[in-house]
Amino acid sequence: MDRPRISGFLVPLMLAWPSGVSAHGLDILSGNALPVRAGGDTAVYLTIGNEAFHNERLIGATSEIANKVELHADRDGRMVPVNGIEIPLDDRIDMRQTGHHIMLIGTKSDLTVGSVLRLRLQFGKNRFQNVMVRVGKGGAPAAASPAPQGGGHGK
C-alpha cells in the first residue's frame, strides 16, 4: 500500500517552499480555498500544469479536514460531481476558468483566511500528490508538497 513519503511534515517549512513543485511532471502552480465555518462546504481551486509526457487526469482528492471531498464542475450555474478533471499534455488548467473545483463537504473546523489545509490529490490508481492550499483570496500560490509515490511512471 502506498503511503505518503512525507507525512506530518512541517507546515512552516512547506510554506517557505516555492510553488510549482512537481511530481510526475504535474505542477500545482497555485491554489486557494474559500473560507467557511465548521460543518459547511467550500471549494478549492487549483491551477495545475502538465509537463508529463501524456495527458493526465485528476480523479479524486481527500483531506483530513473534510468529511468528504468531491470533484465538481459548474454546469449552467449548478455544480455537479464529475469523475475526473482532464489536464492535457503540455498545458495547464485553471479551475476557475474551466468551471471546476474541488469540493470540501462537511469541514471539521473553521477555515479562516490565511489558514492552510492539506489536500491529497489522486492522479492515477496509485499516484498521489499532496498539496498545501491557503484559504483566502485567489492568486496566492500554494506550496506544493513533493510527495511522489506510486509506480509505473518512469522518469
List contacts with Cu ion (CB under 5 A).
72, 79, 103
Q: Which is nearer to Cu ion, 23 or 36 (CB)?
A: 36
Q: Which is nearer to Cu ion, 40 or 124 (CB)?
A: 40
How far apart CA 19 and CA 64 sit, in angstroms, is 22
Classify residue 69 by its DSSP letter: E
Q: How far is the CB of 147 from Cu ion (least distance, A)?
A: 25
Q: How far is the CB of 86 from Cu ion (least distance, A)?
A: 18
Q: If you compute the radius of gyration of the chain from its CA atoms, what whole number of angstroms results?
A: 14
Q: How far is the CB of 114 from Cu ion (least distance, A)?
A: 23
Q: Which is nearer to Cu ion, 82 or 150 (CB)?
A: 82
Grid cell listed for 59: 480523479
Q: How far is the CB of 108 from Cu ion (least distance, A)?
A: 18
Classify residue 97 by its DSSP letter: H
Q: Which is nearer to Cu ion, 22 or 98 (CB)?
A: 98
How far apart CA 31 and CA 42 sit, in angstroms, is 14
Residue 14's identity, in one-letter code, is M
Q: In sequence order, what are the beta bridge partners of 132?
A: 118
- Asked if 120 contacts 63 with a C-beta cutoff of 8 angstroms, the reply is yes
Q: How far is the CB of 80 from Cu ion (least distance, A)?
A: 8
- Asked if 33 contacts 117 with a C-beta cutoff of 8 angstroms, the reply is yes
Q: Which is nearer to Cu ion, 21 or 36 (CB)?
A: 36
